[in-house]
Amino acid sequence: MSRIITSRVPGAEDSSDSENALMFGTPKDRLDFYRREIQYETAILSNRTNSYLSAQSFLVIAYASSMANLNPEWGKVFTLVVPPVLALLGVLCSLNAWPGIRAAYDIIDHWHFKQSGLLRDLPAMGLAYDDGPLFSEMESTHKGYRKSLMFSIRAPWLFAGFWVGLGVFAVMIQIN
Query: Does residue 12 lie in a domain region?
Result: no
Has residue 132 been placed in a domain? Answer: yes
Domain count across the chain: 1
The model's confidence at residue 28, banded by pLDDT at 50, 70 and 90, is confident
Q: Flag whether 9 is in a domain.
A: no
Task: Write down the pTM of the prediction.
Answer: 0.73
Stretch 93-120: mean pLDDT: 91
Per the domain annotation, does 4 fall within a domain? no
- What percent of the chain has pLDDT above 90? 48
| Average pLDDT value for the chain | 82
Q: Is residue 153 part of a domain?
A: yes
Q: How many CA atoms lie within 13 A of 116 on its CB side?
A: 16
Any domain includes 137: yes
Domain assignment present for residue 10? The answer is no
Q: Domain of 137?
A: 27-67+75-175
Yes or no: say if 51 and 130 are a contact pair by the CB < 8 Å rule.
no
